[in-house]
Amino acid sequence: MDEAFTDDALWNGRLVFRQPAKGVGYRFNIDPVLVAGFAPSARHVVDLGAGVGVIGLLLLAMKKAQYLTAVERQPMMADCMRHNIHVQNVDVRARVIAADLRSVDLPLVDLVVFNPPYMPMDAGRGSPNAGRDEARREVHGGLADFCGAAIRCLAPNGSVLAIVPQIREMNLVRAAKDVGLQPVRRCLVRARPDDVPHLIMLQFSRENTSPVQSEHLVIHADRDGRTLSPVVDAWVRGPS
Residues with Cβ within 8 Å of 233's Cβ and at least 6 positions away in sequence, in order, are: 227
Rounded to 5 degrees, φ, ψ at 201 are -105, 130
Question: What CATH fold (topology level) applies to the domain 5-237?
Answer: Rossmann fold (3.40.50)
pLDDT attached to residue 127: 58
Residues with Cβ within 8 Å of 122's Cβ and at least 6 positions away in sequence, in order, are: none
DSSP-derived letter for residue 142 is -
Residues with Cβ within 8 Å of 62's Cβ and at least 6 positions away in sequence, in order, are: 36, 37
Residue among 230, 213, 212 nearest 221 (CA)? 230
What average pLDDT score do residues 129-136 get? Answer: 57
Residue 43 banded pLDDT, cuts 50, 70, 90? very high
> For residue 194, what are the CA distances in angstroms to 41, 104, 164, 165?
31, 42, 20, 17
Average pLDDT, the chain: 92
Residue 121 banded pLDDT, cuts 50, 70, 90? low
What average pLDDT score do residues 170-197 get? Answer: 96
pLDDT attached to residue 224: 87
What average pLDDT score do residues 173-177 get? Answer: 97
Task: Name the residue ranges covered by the structural domains of the chain.
Answer: 5-237
In angstroms, what is the C-alpha Rg of the chain? 17
Q: What's at 207, amino acid-wise?
A: E
List helix spans (H) across the chain: 31-38, 54-61, 75-87, 130-136, 143-152, 169-178, 230-237
Residue 72 banded pLDDT, cuts 50, 70, 90? very high
pLDDT attached to residue 225: 85
Burial class from Cβ neighbours inside 10 Å (0-12, 13-18, 19+) for residue 77 reads buried
Residue 25 banded pLDDT, cuts 50, 70, 90? confident
Quote the pTM value.
Answer: 0.91
List helix spans (H) across 154-217: 169-178
pLDDT attached to residue 102: 94
Asked whether the predicted pLDDT for residue 68 surpasses 90, the reply is: yes
Percent of the chain residues past pLDDT 90, beyond the cut = 82
What average pLDDT score do residues 87-111 get? Answer: 96
